[in-house]
Structure 1
Amino acid sequence: MICDLNVIYPVTDFTTRITEKDLTKLKCGLSTLEQLGYTHVALNFRYSPQLVKKIPNNVNELNPIDVTQLQEFKERLKIFTRITVIANDTSQFQHIAKFQQVFDLVTIEPTNEKVLQTAISNLDLDLISMDMANRLPCYMKHKTVCSAVEKGIYFEFKYNDLINSSTRSMTISNIKQLIRASRSRGMVCSSGLDIDHLHFVRSYHDVVNLLCVIGLDNARASQLFKDWSSKVLLNGRLRVKSFKQTVVISGDDGLIDNRLETSVSAESKPGVSNTKMDASGYTHEKRKLDLLEREKAKLEAKKQKL
């Protein structure tokens, strides 16, 4: 499996729906990724609390990404949903728990060191996305980065900043700093695909070669698209697809292959196809089984007494 966990979804807020023109461009982008060998794609809704002050109270209206409009890719690509919160203050973390109920991946893009430190120490995230095209919000320390990796929080950078000649110099410097601080582990590379700039999309083999020039070895560079990206997906979906992240409703293959889940969600909640399948059904059945076991134990105890 080859993952691209950052394809920008062209909407600006929770209530806006994608236009037909943008939907056509998005489908062209997904077709390009498919031809380049990618198998798992995450559509990324970028949320800036500074610009969007109000979010819907209804949890089922939080996710503006409608995957049912991409049914032709059902057998070809595994499509997931993601939100990236562009945060400049720790008070903007209050809705993270809500987002985890409806998005497969929850990401923070910090703009200062305080937000970065708080996100690592207090939040249950999947990714920390760094804007490598501009100066980093703080000096990347080995202790800070590795503490996040040990918690299962990975750092993401976009390769389209490397391809863009206007941002290449700063991006290379920032990526080298992240490689040094992380000891070449716990990173994810994605396209950051904008539907208006499809010419920046590259095969993962080309990006691996480019990262080897920067300083990563070939095996680690491949893991950015394969092993580490799949771990990010599993961690995000285990949050709602398992019982206390211990007992999984389905195996790992079921977590990554979400075709059945999408169809079930669409049938069970008409008009709301983006609600994640949670473990409530499993926990309910488990309680029933526990009650039956207790009743059996009581009957067996009575029989033994008689």
Structure 2
Amino acid sequence: MFCDFNIPYPVQGNGKITEDSLINLKKILNILQKFGYEAVAFNNTITGKIPNNASNPIQQIPIDTSDNKKDIKQYTRITIIISDASQNYALNSNNETINSYDILAVQPQNEKIFQMACSVLDIDIISLDFSSRLPFYLKLPMINLAIERGIHFEINYSASLRDVSARKHLISNAANLVRVTRGKNIIISSEAQKALEIRGPYDIINLASIFGLNQALAKNCLTRNCRSVILHSKTRKSIHKGVVSITTLDELEPEESWKAGDKDLDADVLHFDMDED
């Protein structure tokens, strides 16, 4: 299942989308469908603190599924551009606005925020502007901490199609990310503003080879890693802090023997409603 988890959703000041923007999004969906994508995330980007009265403006967009055309799963995403570490952005499970989106991403504007995103913030994606020079270095300890927490890093490619300088920065920055992460926990998205900026999955896999990714790891950036983002999001929104009690094996009652790991329970697994390739 190929995914593109960053299609900008252009919202006006009144929280609505214009008819022209809606037509443009339909064209983008149609080309994604033609290229074989099966999941997309419409992205609402907010700079700074989320307004108290903010709501999720993203609506499902009808798509033609006639003539055996595959439907496209549509997710909603919010990306928050953060520059001030002193602000309380309320990025937690108690924030109803954030919970109304399927995916939560942040775009750090400085090293301090990047460190917070890797180590503290309860998020799914760290998205960096690779079309220009990064204002900080990608340090291995912070990257590893984010990976251990199940956070994914995003590479967006469409800006490189518009500008030669952006293309050079993208290749350099993405190669650096691949080197530090060893190709783990990366997703590649388009951030396309129009249909002509969408590229097919195998074109992107070829592009990723320039970043230093082999074909298997590059394909993961469009498939498996995207599913991991959704799984992480579901877990983030469903698991809450609790109290853990510790009991020794000698204290267990006979009817509680399953807690010690009975072999009869080895086959029990937790299933999530997620498609495979």
Query: What is the TM-score of this pair, normalised by structure 2?
Result: 0.80
- Against the structure 1 CA distance between its residues 77 and 158, is the aligned structure 2 distance closer, same or farther, given a 3 Å change threshold? same
Specify the code of the residue in structure 1 equivalent to 2:272: D
2:31 matches 1:40? no
Deviations 1:77-131 (A, max 9, x none): 1000000001111244523232431110010001100011112221111000010
2:23 matches 1:24? yes
Deviations 1:118-170 (A, max 9, x none): 12221111000010001112111111111101101110011213333421111
2:167 matches 1:172? no
Larger % of helix: which? Answer: 1
Deviation at 1:186, TM superposition (A): 1.2
Identity %: 34
**RMSD (CA atoms):** 2.4
Secondary structure at the residue paired with 2:107?
strand
Specify the code of the residue in structure 1 equivalent to 2:9: Y
Indicate conservation of the 8 Å contact 1:9/1:44, yes or no. Answer: yes
Secondary structure at the residue paired with 2:31?
helix
Distance in 2 between residues matched to 1:73 and 1:233, nearest whole Å:
24
2:62 matches 1:71? yes
- Greater than 6 Å deviation, 4+ residue runs: none
- Against the structure 1 CA distance between its residues 117 and 101, is the aligned structure 2 distance closer, same or farther, given a 3 Å change threshold? same
Aligned length: 241
Secondary structure at the residue paired with 1:96?
coil
Deviation at 1:29, TM superposition (A): 0.6
Deviation at 1:256, TM superposition (A): 6.5
2:81 matches 1:82? no
Deviation at 1:237, TM superposition (A): 2.4
- Against the structure 1 CA distance between its residues 114 and 219, is the aligned structure 2 distance closer, same or farther, given a 3 Å change threshold? same
Indicate conservation of the 8 Å contact 1:78/1:256, yes or no. Answer: no
Distance in 2 between residues matched to 1:243 and 1:139, nearest whole Å:
32
2:48 matches 1:55? no
2:191 matches 1:189? no
Specify the code of the residue in structure 2 equivalent to 1:63: N
Secondary structure at the residue paired with 2:37?
coil
Moved more, 1-10 or 70-79: 70-79
1:219 match: 216
Deviations 1:180-204 (A, max 9, x none): 111121111001111xx32111001
Specify the code of the residue in structure 1 equivalent to 2:190: S
Distance in 2 between residues matched to 1:65 and 1:35, nearest whole Å:
23
Distance in 2 between residues matched to 1:252 and 1:183, nearest whole Å:
27
Indicate conservation of the 8 Å contact 1:5/1:42, yes or no. Answer: yes
1:103 match: 101
Distance in 2 between residues matched to 1:252 and 1:54, nearest whole Å:
30
Distance in 1 between residues matched to 2:124 and 2:208, nearest whole Å:
23
Deviations 1:261-291 (A, max 9, x none): xxxxxxxxxxxxxxxxxxxxxxxxxxxxxxx
1:287 match: none
Distance in 2 between residues matched to 1:134 and 1:148, nearest whole Å:
22
Specify the code of the residue in structure 2 equivalent to 1:175: A
Indicate conservation of the 8 Å contact 2:78/2:98, yes or no. Answer: no
Deviations 1:35-59 (A, max 9, x none): 111101000001012xxx77143xx
Distance in 2 between residues matched to 1:117 and 1:200, nearest whole Å:
32
Deviation at 1:73, TM superposition (A): 5.9
2:5 match: 5
- Against the structure 1 CA distance between its residues 228 and 54, is the aligned structure 2 distance closer, same or farther, given a 3 Å change threshold? closer
Indicate conservation of the 8 Å contact 1:12/1:47, yes or no. Answer: no
- Against the structure 1 CA distance between its residues 38 and 66, is the aligned structure 2 distance closer, same or farther, given a 3 Å change threshold? same
- Against the structure 1 CA distance between its residues 137 and 104, is the aligned structure 2 distance closer, same or farther, given a 3 Å change threshold? same
Q: Which runs of 5+ in 2 are unaligned?
A: 242-269
1:301 match: none
- Against the structure 1 CA distance between its residues 156 and 12, is the aligned structure 2 distance closer, same or farther, given a 3 Å change threshold? farther
1:235 match: 232
2:120 matches 1:122? yes
Deviation at 1:12, TM superposition (A): 4.8
